[in-house]
């Protein structure tokens, strides 16, 4: 029995180490690709957050294995207590813990499917509530919950509000979605289609009737929805594919901007201290991070879009540099879209602007 357990352990350990190296080296490859394709473009924080946090670490030290009645424990740390990656195989399933205490991501695979949790400021798990129909996908109608509870309601406004000295009550949000990019070579091997949903769920060991499965199905469905008039889109499953799509739509010289709110999580009054348009035409590619097992961005390009960076100062003194997108033609949007209901306007009548959450990115020609 113990010999069989050791054999299973060695197989699992091999898989864990290969996966760890794949993600780590994949992130390093993605960074190298960025530098080669965009040598003069700074990488926005939203992209940095979607890269493996171990991108700079390619050496493994102090791997230890313990076999006992409680199961199997594997520690691939660097000799520091609590550091590195720990794998626990026991009666309850498989647990993977990566990172230092208080900052680690925990992945649990058990009877209920897959749970991914990142602790909040006080070590408590962050709960992600996923609602159907992102307010940043313009073919969807707003739900009653979004109208009353969605913090993104405050992010929509008319262009007349975009001027120095104006005050706005805002809530900059950053989802608890800490999924990181897979290497493009790995992402391209994994199906990304509603027709192969069973295969996808099986590959990630996710129960078909679980909440995780529902979220992944929703993301793929949104990615497969037909585009609206004047829109071109692609769901980027790797950083390289995001860069390639943006360059194919905007030209070889591009730059990426994301909102930097400095961790502000409460709704408060902000005063605009500066506004700067960041493009010379009306073309932009906006990429919205989706909920998925790994980093996936819904990227779409429209012809009549203006992009800005807006500097704001909060009532508590906090400074935010936000990315803003203004859509001059909304005639093809769903008439019941959240923006129309919040601003009480009709499609195609008035341009609609919105701030981008911290994990979204706007690309423009440089």
Does one domain contain both 33 and 105? yes
Per-residue confidence (pLDDT) for residue 35, from 0 to 100: 94
Same domain assignment for residues 95 and 189: no
Q: Look at residue 202 and tell me if it is in a domain.
A: yes
Average pLDDT of adjacent 10-residue blocks, the chain of 366 residues: 45 37 63 93 92 46 36 41 40 38 36 32 30 54 58 74 93 77 93 96 93 94 89 95 97 94 80 94 92 94 91 92 93 84 89 90 94
Can you give the pLDDT at residue 7? 44
Residues 218 and 105 in one domain: no
In this structure, the number of other CB atoms found within 10 A of the CB of residue 3 comes to: 7
Residues 272 and 314 in one domain: yes
Question: Based on the domain organization, do 329 and 218 belong to the same domain?
Answer: yes
Domain count, the chain: 2
The pLDDT, as a whole number, for residue 134 is: 61
Say whether both 75 and 162 belong to one domain: no
Is 135 a domain residue? no
* 332 shares a domain with 293: yes
Task: Tell me which of 99, 117, 135 is where a domain ends.
Answer: 117
Question: Looking at the structure, do residues 263 and 349 belong to the same domain, yes or no?
Answer: yes
Residue 222: inside a domain, yes or no?
Answer: yes
Q: Could you list the residue range(s) of the whole structural domain that residue 348 is in?
A: 144-365
Q: Does residue 136 lie in a domain region? A: no
Nearest to 74 by CA among 9, 148, 140: 9
**In a shared domain, residues 79 and 174:** no
Instruction: Give the pLDDT of residue 141.
Output: 61
Whether 161 is in a domain gets the answer yes
Q: pTM (2 decimals)?
A: 0.70
Which pLDDT belongs to residue 124? 28
Same domain, yes or no: 175 and 73:
no
Are residues 82 and 148 located together in one domain of the fold? no
pLDDT of residue 53: 56
Shared-domain flag, residues 241 and 163: yes
- Flag whether 137 is in a domain: no
Cβ contact 261:174 at 8 Å: yes
């Amino acid at each position: 029995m113990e010999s069989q357990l050791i054999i299973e352990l060695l197989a699992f350990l091999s898989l864990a180490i290969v996966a760890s190296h794949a993600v780590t080296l994949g992130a390093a490859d993605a960074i190298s690709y960025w530098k080669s394709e965009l040598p003069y473009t700074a990488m926005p924080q939203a992209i940095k957050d979607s890269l493996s946090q171990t991108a700079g670490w390619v050496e493994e030290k102090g791997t230890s294995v313990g076999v006992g009645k409680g199961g199997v424990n594997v520690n691939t740390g660097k000799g520091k207590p609590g550091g590195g990656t720990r794998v626990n195989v026991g009666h309850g399933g498989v647990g993977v813990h990566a990172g230092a205490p208080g900052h680690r991501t925990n992945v649990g695979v058990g009877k209920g499917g897959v749970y991914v949790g990142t602790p909040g400021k006080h070590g408590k798990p962050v709960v992600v509530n996923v609602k159907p129909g992102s307010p940043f996908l313009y073919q969807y109608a707003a739900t009653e919950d979004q109208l009353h509870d969605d913090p993104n309601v405050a992010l929509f406004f008319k262009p007349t509000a975009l001027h120095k000295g104006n005050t706005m009550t805002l809530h900059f949000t950053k989802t608890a979605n800490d999924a990181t990019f897979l290497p493009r070579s790995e992402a391209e091997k994994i199906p990304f289609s509603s027709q192969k949903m069973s295969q996808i769920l099986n590959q990630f060991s996710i129960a078909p009737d679980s909440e995780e499965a529902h979220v992944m199905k929703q993301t793929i469905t949104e990615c497969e929805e037909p585009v609206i008039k004047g829109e071109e889109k692609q769901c980027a499953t790797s950083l390289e594919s995001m860069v390639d799509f943006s360059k194919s739509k905007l030209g070889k010289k591009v730059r990426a901007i994301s909102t930097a709110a400095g961790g502000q999580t409460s709704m408060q009054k902000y005063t605009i201290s500066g506004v700067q348009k960041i493009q010379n035409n009306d073309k932009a590619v906006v990429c919205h991070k989706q909920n998925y097992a790994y980093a996936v961005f819904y990227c779409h390009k429209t012809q009549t879009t203006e992009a800005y960076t807006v500097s704001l100062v909060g009532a508590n003194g906090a400074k935010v540099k936000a990315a803003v997108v203004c859509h001059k033609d909304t005639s093809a949007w769903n008439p019941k879209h959240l923006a129309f209901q919040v601003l009480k306007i009709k499609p195609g009548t008035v341009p609609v602007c919105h701030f981008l959450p911290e994990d979204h990115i706007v690309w423009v020609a440089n």
